[in-house]
């Protein structure tokens, strides 16, 4: 991942140095760096999730560049490239939540009641394609779609402080402790998609001649897991807002 980030940074520096000679005046370039806040969540909180105990911020940094071609004084078409991280770490209280876990050497599956701690982390390349609308000289509204290719995938955690009914709500009761070997560990990283698509809307604004800021909202249209993955009953969608700084090249 470090090599990918170095190569991406070198590409941005090269484009910055040669933007005008390569593109002329017909296309404008904007570099951006931001921080994303959000998570992977179902649309609508299911009844099986009773309470959010904690939410921990992750290093969800975004680095990118956009090219815009004006098609009129007010309208333009944008194409971008991002290297970004989307992650979250949450601790939630659940009731009758379907789980598949490992407790020591045992594999258990059924309905869990207790606390669940989950860490999700994904590094990806993202390509957004957007329509742009300019409000005066300093504000640019944008909306479109994006496609992401996930480079690294992590979805793991553990269930603790409760019990699991094997097979269903009336199955045998297995106590799930809090210490290592007593809690129920899980790792569903290999069931995550490589390709994600979604909608993106946002706003760029200019603060001075070159520098500005931006605010984006990205909403995934497909879940982060493959469609045949049924261990987690709800489909989890990546929903993130990003705020950051821009530099007009």
pLDDT of residue 105: 82
Are 45 and 248 within 8 A, CB to CB? no
Q: What are the φ and ψ backbone dihedral angles of 167, each rounded to 5 degrees?
A: 85, -30
**Quick one: CA torsion of 225, 226, 232, 233, rounded to 10 degrees?**
120
Give me 238's structure tokens: 């990546």
pLDDT of residue 198: 97
Residue by residue, pLDDT tens for the chain (249 residues) are 666 556 655 655 555 555 555 555 678 999 999 999 999 988 888 888 898 999 998 999 999 999 999 999 899 999 999 999 999 999 999 999 999 999 888 899 999 999 999 999 999 999 999 999 999 889 999 999 999 999 999 999 999 999 999 988 888 999 999 888 889 999 999 999 999 999 999 999 999 889 999 999 999 999 999 989 988 888 999 999 999 999 998
User: Could you tell me which of 88, 83, 94 has the C-alpha nearest to residue 239?
Assistant: 88
d(C-alpha 228, C-alpha 156), whole Å: 18
pLDDT of residue 5: 57
Element (H, E) at 116: strand 106-135
């Amino acid at each position: 991942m470090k090599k990918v980030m170095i190569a991406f940074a070198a590409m941005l520096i090269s484009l910055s140095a040669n933007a005008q000679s390569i593109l002329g005046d017909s296309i404008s370039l904007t570099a951006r760096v931001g921080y994303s806040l959000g998570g992977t969540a179902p649309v609508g909180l299911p009844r099986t999730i009773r309470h959010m105990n904690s939410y921990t911020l992750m290093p969800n940094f975004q680095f990118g560049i956009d090219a815009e071609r004006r098609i009129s004084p007010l309208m333009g078409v944008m194409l971008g490239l991002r290297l970004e991280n989307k992650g979250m770490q949450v601790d939630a209280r659940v009731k009758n939540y379907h789980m598949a876990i490992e407790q020591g050497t045992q594999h258990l599956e059924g309905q869990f009641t207790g606390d669940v701690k989950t860490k999700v982390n994904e590094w990806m390349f993202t390509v957004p394609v957007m329509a742009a609308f300019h409000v005066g000289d300093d504000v640019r509204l944008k909306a479109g779609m994006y496609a992401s290719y996930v480079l690294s995938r992590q979805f793991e955690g553990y269930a603790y402080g409760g019990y699991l009914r094997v097979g269903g709500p009336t199955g045998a009761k297995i106590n799930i402790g809090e210490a290592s070997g007593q809690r129920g560990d899980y790792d569903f990283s290999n069931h995550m998609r490589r390709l994600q698509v979604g909608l993106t809307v946002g706003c760029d604004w200019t603060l001075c001649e070159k520098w500005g800021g931006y605010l984006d909202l990205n909403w995934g249209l497909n879940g982060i897991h493959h469609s045949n993955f049924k261990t987690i009953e709800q489909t989890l969608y990546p929903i993130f807002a990003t705020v950051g700084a821009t530099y007009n090249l």
